[in-house]
Amino acid sequence: MIIGKFTKDGNGYVGELTTLTHRQALKFEPLAEKKVDYIVTADGVEVGAGWKKTSQRSGSAYVSVKLDSPFLLAPVYAALIHQDDGGYILIWSRDDRKDD
């Protein structure tokens, strides 16, 4: 499910997260540290992080994203993916893995 649309902004990305209950401008800002490639902010407040990844299936690059804040019931995991038109979409899918 597409939950956001973004554009490239220097070395980061800017756009808007849109769900049934929430609409918020987000910014992905690159970080120099190796643990995290991007910090995700909303109005200057940290709400998540992103890591550069490569799809094993297609070999395409994407950003793995974790969003979390006191306003979310649980962390949201998504992927920021480049599109043919030059833009980027943030895709969320439910984690169907079972706990052992």
Residue 72 pLDDT class (50, 70, 90 cuts): confident
Nearest to 93 by CA among 65, 72, 58, 61: 65
Distance CA 16, CA 25 (A): 4
**Contact indicator for 31, 37 with CB cutoff of 8 Å:** yes
> Domain residues of the chain, as ranges?
2-92
What percentage of the chain reaches a pLDDT higher than 90?
Answer: 67
Q: What is the pLDDT of residue 30?
A: 95
SS (H, E, C) 5-51: EEEEECCEEEEEEECCCCEEEEEEEECCCCCCCEEEEECCEEEEEEE
